[in-house]
Structure 1
Amino acid sequence: MTQLIAGKIGNLAAEGIWDLLARSLGGEPIARYTEEGLLHWETLRDGGWDEIGVPEEAGGAGASLRDLVEVAMTWGEFCVPLPLVVTLAAKRWSAAAREHPGPVTVSVSSACAGPLVPFGNEPGIRVLAGPDGFLAVAGGATDEFSLTLRPMAADEATAFDAVAARELAVLWAAEGVGAAKRCLRDAVAYAKGRKQFGVPIGGFQAIKHRAAHMLELTERAETAVLWAAADDFREGAEPVSTRRLTLHALATAREVVESAIQVHGGMGFTWEMGVHVYLRHVIALRELVQGLLPE
């Protein structure tokens, strides 16, 4: 049966992550906490957040992929520069990852720069070689384009099986959808408060139309992710590939974030406003998914 609705574990976990992030970040702008690190991995580890996707037979909470999609979308709304989503995916399919007490990441092939390791320089992180071991990756320079993923170049890519690659791609796409949701919400709030000619700009027809289109795009992106998370999705008699759905979701999420920049006007291009952080994040996620699921 197609599971399009998150279970109890997914809903409770998403609410818990939201409360944790809201409390830890204290309403600080994203441009600040991507640089200063207001949340640390130890907080996530001590709360057991990195193990909620571990199968029950392996001692975990047994959250389904659909449940983890809910968590990833919530995480994406904050874009915290910590490897929770990739660690959740890694500990679902790798016994070696489950035995490691710290964060875990992967090395993903990239058409532009060779294999990339998201969060490669995070303290205590290990890079999976496959389900049973780790790669020896020396610390190196990171790509500062993505302030939230900070991928590091590597010589070798992780050997994924089809299930592991699919699940990580779905979760990264869900994270991108979360970023789009946050940008939509922030853009609407800004349009309600920013005044031009003595009235809120949200009352102008052009802004109304843009906001409505952003909502449509966000719902379209989320729908694509939910179908990608469903094992038995079929369109007519033909399966719709995870690659097609996840890349569509991330491309659509990018449109939403770019529109949010436009709604913010000149402020949208400033470092302090931070909308650019979400744009960089979604672009980098799409590159990683393309490497995970090559044509």
Structure 2
Amino acid sequence: MSTQPDLLYSEEEEALRAAVRDLLTDHCDPAGVIARIESDAPHDLALWKSLADGMGLAGLLVPEAQGGQGATHREVAVVLEELGRAVAPVPYLTSAVVATEALLACAGDEAAELLARLASGRTIGALAVGLHTASNAGFPAVRLEDGALHGELTGIADAAVADVLLVPAEDGGLYAVDADAVIITPQVSLDLTRPVAKVVFEGAPGRRLGAAEPAVRRALRAGAGLLASEQLGVGDWALTETVRYLKERKQFNRPVGGFQALKHRLAQLWLEVVNLRAAARNAADALATGADVDVAVAVAQAYAAPVAVHAAEEALQLHGGIGMTWEHPVHLYLKRAKADSIAYGTAGAHREALAELVDLQAP
């Protein structure tokens, strides 16, 4: 039997893509996203309910015996591609992937019960580790005194809509803390569609779920590997929309897209996005099968960030004056690409990790 990863999409994955894209087309238009980020409630909880509860997508990574769908990271990657293409302001990556993976690493009734709640989509979870943290880096923990947690953590993505936080403590444990037991303060974030917050613990009660180290490592690794699919969605949108615009836009009475210099730039971008698709699919497949996961994730993240940012920058520039306006959604994609480029470790951090994994240390 071949051990080569299958990077093509299966019929089931394409059907899932079509269903998610239809939902987002109807309920997540760019004007709506822009209006939402201008309000004090950027998250679209009605859309989250449709995705998580209506379509059952919050439980894709959770085995059926534990209340989930029993699917794999490949299906999750398809969902994230579409969410990236729509810059959907929903806590899918943070709750259905990162928090869920952390719980899957914990044994015991407390973790199992919480996992089932996250899988149903009715409870939103957030891992209380800064969004910028790479899976092989250290992470801050809070103090545990007399069974209560004290301290503060910053850069926690989607904390504002979380019902429960998964919190590493200095005793080495991972604790479940109800969001209403802590103080959550929004922090300024470039990407307004995935807000981050500071979380302060002043004697918050926590329920121990298991060991923090393996749970956080597993969660951040899956987050990094699947983030590449979101970045692919961002890059693919930027390329598609730019090609469409340049076919319509006329200068000197001919379509701008006909000019040789722009054709070259678009061809280069197309190659980058195609290569990103291969890297993102490979990471999703590796997470699903457990083969060479660390290498696949590091390769995907080393490549994904620069491509997504370049695609969004080209989209902004090639849309000309219209791209510089607030009403056009391209700024949402550039901000998401920029924020994603430091999420779960920078491209440089992943290149360093990759060098170590394949024994290619710098001189």
Q: Which TM-score bucket, shorter chain as reference?
A: 0.7 to 0.9
Give unmatched runs, 5+ long, in structure 2: 104-111, 134-139, 141-152, 202-211, 354-363
Closer/same/farther in 2, CA of residues 8 and 161 from structure 1, 3 Å limit: farther
Pairing 1:236-251 to 2, within 5 Å after superposition: 240=295, 242-251=297-306
Distance 1:102 1:154 in 2: 18
SS at match of 2:70: coil
* Whole-Å separation in 2 of the counterparts to 1:218 and 1:232: 24
1:217 aligns with 2:226: no
Identical pairs, percent: 27
Does 2:55 correspond to 1:25? no
Residue by residue, what CA displacement relative to the aligned partner does 1:43-95 show, whole Å, maximum 9, x if unpaired?
33331221222123323211111221111111110011111222221334513
Q: CA deviation at 1:9?
A: 4.4
1:258 aligned partner, one-letter code: E
Task: Report the counterpart of residue 134 of structure 1 in structure 2.
Answer: 176
* 1:43 to 2:46 alignment: no
State whether residues 217 and 253 of structure 1, in contact with CA within 8 Å, keep that contact through their aligned partners in structure 2.
no
Distance 2:323 2:7 in 1: 34
SS in 2 for 1:240: helix
Alignment of 1:282 onto 2:337? yes
CA apart distance, 1:169: 1.1
What is the aligned partner in structure 1 of residue 250 from structure 2?
195
The within-5 A match list for 1:1-295 is 1=3, 2-25=5-28, 28=31, 30-35=33-38, 40=46, 41-47=48-54, 48-89=56-97, 90-94=99-103, 95=112, 96-100=114-118, 101-109=122-130, 110=132, 115-122=154-161, 124-129=162-167, 133-135=175-177, 137-154=182-199, 160-229=215-284, 230=286, 231-233=290-292, 240=295, 242-290=297-345
1:247–1:289 Cα contact (<8 Å) kept:
no
- Aligned AA for 2:16? A
Distance 1:182 1:137, change over 3 A: farther
CA distance in 1, matches of 2:45, 2:258: 37
**Shift in alpha-carbon separation, 1:132–1:162, aligned structure 2, 3 A:** closer
- TM-score for the superposition, normalised by structure 1: 0.85
Q: Which runs of 5+ in 1 are unaligned?
A: none
- Name the amino acid aligned to 2:100: K
Give aligned pairs, total.
288
Higher strand share: 2
Q: Is the alpha carbon distance of 1:206 and 1:226 closer, same or farther for their aligned partners in structure 2, counting shifts above 3 Å?
A: same
Higher RCO (C-alpha under 8 Å, 6+ residues apart): 1
What is the alpha-carbon distance in structure 1 between the residues aligned to residue 200 and residue 227 of structure 2?
22
Opposite residue 167 of structure 2, the aligned amino acid is A
Q: 1:193: how far off? A: 0.9
Describe the superposition over 1:105-133 as per-residue Cα deviations: whole angstroms up to 9, x where unpaired.
2233347x9742112212x5322226964
SS in structure 2 at match of 1:67: helix
8 Å Cα contact 1:247-1:290 kept in structure 2: no
Task: State the structure with more CA Rg.
Answer: 2
Secondary structure in 2 aligned to 1:121? helix
Deviation string for 1:269-293 (max 9, x for gaps)? 22111211111111212222218x8
Q: Distance in 2 between matches of 1:30 and 1:55?
A: 32
Q: TM-score, normalised by structure 2?
A: 0.70
The 8 Å contact of residues 155 and 187 in structure 2, kept in 1 or not, is answered as no
Distance 1:9 1:63, change over 3 A: farther
Q: Which moved more, 1:186-195 or 1:60-69?
A: 60-69
CA RMSD of aligned residues (A): 3.0
